[in-house]
């Protein structure tokens, strides 16, 4: 994703970019001023003959501003095509330079908006009709489609890299070649997309929980709206959730709520307060609803800046800066019902007991002291003189009051706050070490999820409230066997590791739809599965992480094992974790708590339980341990 790495130094000049055949005008902002840099003269392109690649930008980082070069007088059809494709990557207001390559009518009607087609690399372009053809030159542009960004700014990976194909028709206008049929969206290589756009989360409510909805906005002012990144993000929030998440979340903003007309920039005052002027659709909302609106805004905006945001205030439409309501960060945290701050980390020790530990991440050489969890598990599971009941895997509820454990006999839910006898299993096992139930997972609503890997009876199961009768859950579009799962803390998404014939595992995220008393939906179901790690050929482990992200362990085709943070839309948002290549983790656990960084936990057959404290290195904490989990 975009970085702050330094690129070319300041100073005007002219160079030819090898293999690119492109002309770029760039600007980089510095604390002491602005420097101009002219990149790459335009090489003459033939209007007939072989296929030629229009390369993506190389070595141009996110801090560089790119401006296209207008078409030269009497430019050939090939030069017009190349110049237009390049100008689409520019930061020109209203994409003015790109429009100069179009006919007058096409320039007026072209509305690429926020829609983007993202290609894996540069475009191949070649003529299918030459300038001498009586119908005029026509050029075909193709590439490998990586993803699309829709009109709601949501990123959608494309399965198996389908081919992108577009035809650009050229005509003579005032004796100059111009394009009369531009593409309906912007077409960018992956490197150009990462330079121009950045991922942000906007937030909506699902019941009492706040849910992250990832989208992409321009890193600088949008060429069309002229809004800065913060204002773009707020505008996207007001427009509503992405289509994929929309069926299971809701916005507190009344339908039709927008920023007050003319708002192009939002900024903080000296008290770290963001004031947001709205139109008249929001003028008459009640205070509880208004505070939920402000909470959505605070969590949406606070990730956009390194500056502290203490308060969000919503303003009426009258233009007099009269306040609708405001929330502080403390108030918003209560309204947002953020994930519980975990007190312990948990794993299964070498004696197959569920244990917990408090790990002080500030003490790098500390060896954590593990203790058995309290309650019936401490007396019934693996204690001296017990029948030898063994825990294979476990999950702990978010309030850390109950544990769901898988044993050779099946799935149990056990209290960790009192004493008493062990309950009966909720789902029976096979009675042997090859138990087919996956490790379970809790969601914030208190429901428990588990999958059965039995080839004869595979399926996803949900235990309502952790105590109800298990229900088999329909998973629309499932193709393979679920080998691991993890429900998100917000209760509206579930990550599924699915194994197909051949043994390779892919990561999918599905939307959890619950009955609301309307329509024909009578049972909980999982719908619209989408690839969450399309870059990886094989995924071995995963966990939910803060801000609606996934921590994924796997490898790319022909590559080594890596651990990456990824958005649920399938785009990478951070570099790999250090040392993951040698970890060979088959289980990983990250806390969803955002209030304080927590160590990443992992398990490998060679090392047992390992942890990665923030800013430190991996280290072993329990050589014989396995199945690490945080609450959830």
**Residue 483 backbone dihedrals phi, psi, to 5 degrees:** -105, -15
For residues 298-314, give the mean pLDDT. 87
Is pLDDT above 90 for 72?
yes
The confidence score (pLDDT) of residue 503 equals: 79
**Residue 76 backbone dihedrals phi, psi, to 5 degrees:** -70, 165
Contact 199, 215 (CB under 8 A): yes
Cβ neighbours, 10 Å, residue 151: 11
The mean-pLDDT minimum among 38-42, 48-52, 87-91 falls in 38-42
For the record, the structure tokens of 114 come out as 């926020």
Is pLDDT above 80 for 267?
no
Contact 255, 281 (CB under 8 A): yes
| Banded model confidence at residue 617, pLDDT cuts 50, 70, 90 | confident
Is pLDDT above 70 for 363?
no
What is the percent of the chain with per-residue pLDDT over 70, rounded to a whole number? 82
* Gap between the Cα atoms of 109 and 151, Å rounded: 17
pTM here is 0.84
Is it true that domain 345-629 has CATH number 2.120.10.30?
Answer: yes
The confidence score (pLDDT) of residue 463 equals: 95
Q: Where are the domains of the chain?
A: 14-196, 252-336, 345-629
Is pLDDT above 70 for 40?
no
Residue 318, helix vs strand vs coil: coil
The confidence score (pLDDT) of residue 64 equals: 62
| Banded model confidence at residue 388, pLDDT cuts 50, 70, 90 | low
For residues 43-50, give the mean pLDDT. 37
* Gap between the Cα atoms of 32 and 35, Å rounded: 10
Closest by CA position to 8, among listed 43, 57, 69: 57
First-last CA distance in the chain: 29
Closest by CA position to 588, among listed 561, 567, 570: 561
Helical ranges in 303-421 per DSSP H: 329-336, 376-380
The mean-pLDDT minimum among 18-32, 269-283, 539-553 falls in 18-32
For residues 332-359, give the mean pLDDT. 88
The confidence score (pLDDT) of residue 599 equals: 87
* Gap between the Cα atoms of 412 and 420, Å rounded: 14
* Gap between the Cα atoms of 121 and 595, Å rounded: 39
Using the structure block, give the residue that is written with the tokens 């009675």: 431
Closest by CA position to 495, among listed 467, 445, 532, 525: 532
Contact 270, 229 (CB under 8 A): no
Give the pLDDT confidence of 413-448 residue by residue, as tens digits: 999 988 778 888 999 876 545 578 999 999 988 999
The confidence score (pLDDT) of residue 380 equals: 54
The mean-pLDDT minimum among 211-220, 362-371, 485-494 falls in 362-371
What is the percent of the chain with per-residue pLDDT over 90, rounded to a whole number? 47
Output 29 or 154, whichever has higher pLDDT. Answer: 154
């Amino acid at each position: 994703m975009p970085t702050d790495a330094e690129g070319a130094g300041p100073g005007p000049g002219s160079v030819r970019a090898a293999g690119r055949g492109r002309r770029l005008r760039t600007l980089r902002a510095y604390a002491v001023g602005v420097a101009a840099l002219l990149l790459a003269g335009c090489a003459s392109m033939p209007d007939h003959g072989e296929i030629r690649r229009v390369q993506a930008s190389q070595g141009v980082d996110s801090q560089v501003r790119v401006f296209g070069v207008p078409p030269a007088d009497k430019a050939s059809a090939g030069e017009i095509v190349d110049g237009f494709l390049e100008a689409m990557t520019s930061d020109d207001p209203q994409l003015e330079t790109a429009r100069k390559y179009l006919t007058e009518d096409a320039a007026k009607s072209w509305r690429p908006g926020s829609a983007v087609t993202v290609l894996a690399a540069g475009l191949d372009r070649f003529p299918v009709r030459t300038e001498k053809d009586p119908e005029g030159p026509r050029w075909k542009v193709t590439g490998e489609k990586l993803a699309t960004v829709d009109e709601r700014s949501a990123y959608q990976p494309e399965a198996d890299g389908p081919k992108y194909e577009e035809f650009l028709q050229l005509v003579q206008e005032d004796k100059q070649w111009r394009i009369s049929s531009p593409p309906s969206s912007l077409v960018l290589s992956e490197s150009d997309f990462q330079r121009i756009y950045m991922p942000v989360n906007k937030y909506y409510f699902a019941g009492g929980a706040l849910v992250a909805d990832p989208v992409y906005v321009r890193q600088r002012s949008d060429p069309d709206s002229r809004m800065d990144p913060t204002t773009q993000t707020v505008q996207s929030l007001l427009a509503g959730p992405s289509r994929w998440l929309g069926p299971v979340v809701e916005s507190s903003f009344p339908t039709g709520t927008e920023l007050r007309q003319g708002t192009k920039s939002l900024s903080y005052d000296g008290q770290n307060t963001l004031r947001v002027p709205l139109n008249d659709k929001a003028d008459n909302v009640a205070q509880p609803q208004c505070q939920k609106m402000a909470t959505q805004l605070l969590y949406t905006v606070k990730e956009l800046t390194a500056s502290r945001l203490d308060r969000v205030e919503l303003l009426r439409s009258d233009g007099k800066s009269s306040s609708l309501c405001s929330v502080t960060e403390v108030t918003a945290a209560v309204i947002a019902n953020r994930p519980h701050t975990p007190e312990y980390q948990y794993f299964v020790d070498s004696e197959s007991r569920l244990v917990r530990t408090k790990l002080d991440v500030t003490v790098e050489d500390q060896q954590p002291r593990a203790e058995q969890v309290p309650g019936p598990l401490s007396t019934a599971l693996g204690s001296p003189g017990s029948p030898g009941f063994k825990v294979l895997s476990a999950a702990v509820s978010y309030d850390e009051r109950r544990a769901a454990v898988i044993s050779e006999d099946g799935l149990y839910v056990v209290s960790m706050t009192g004493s008493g006898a062990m309950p009966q299993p909720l789902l029976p096992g096979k009675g042997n070490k090859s138990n087919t139930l996956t490790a379970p997972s809790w969601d914030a609503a208190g429901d428990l999820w588990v999958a059965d890997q039995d080839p004869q009876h595979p399926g996803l199961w949900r235990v309502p409230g952790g105590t109800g009768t298990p229900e088999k859950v329909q998973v629309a579009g499932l193709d393979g066997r679920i080998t691991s799962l993890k429900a998100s803390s917000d209760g509206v998404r579930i990550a599924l590791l699915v194994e197909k014939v051949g043994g390779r595992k892919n990561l999918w995220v599905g939307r959890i739809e619950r009955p609301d008393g309307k329509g024909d939906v009578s049972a909980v179901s999982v719908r619209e599965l989408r690839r969450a790690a399309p870059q990886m050929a094989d995924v071995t482990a995963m966990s939910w992480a803060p801000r609606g992200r996934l921590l994924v362990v796997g490898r790319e085709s022909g590559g080594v094992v890596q651990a990456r943070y990824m958005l649920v839309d399938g785009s990478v948002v951070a570099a790999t974790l250090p040392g993951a290549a040698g970890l060979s983790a088959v289980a990983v656990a990250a806390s969803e708590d955002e209030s304080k960084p927590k160590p990443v936990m992992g398990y490998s057959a060679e090392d047992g339980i390992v942890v990665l404290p923030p800013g430190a290195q991996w280290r072993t904490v329990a050589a014989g341990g396995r199945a690490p989990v945080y609450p959830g």
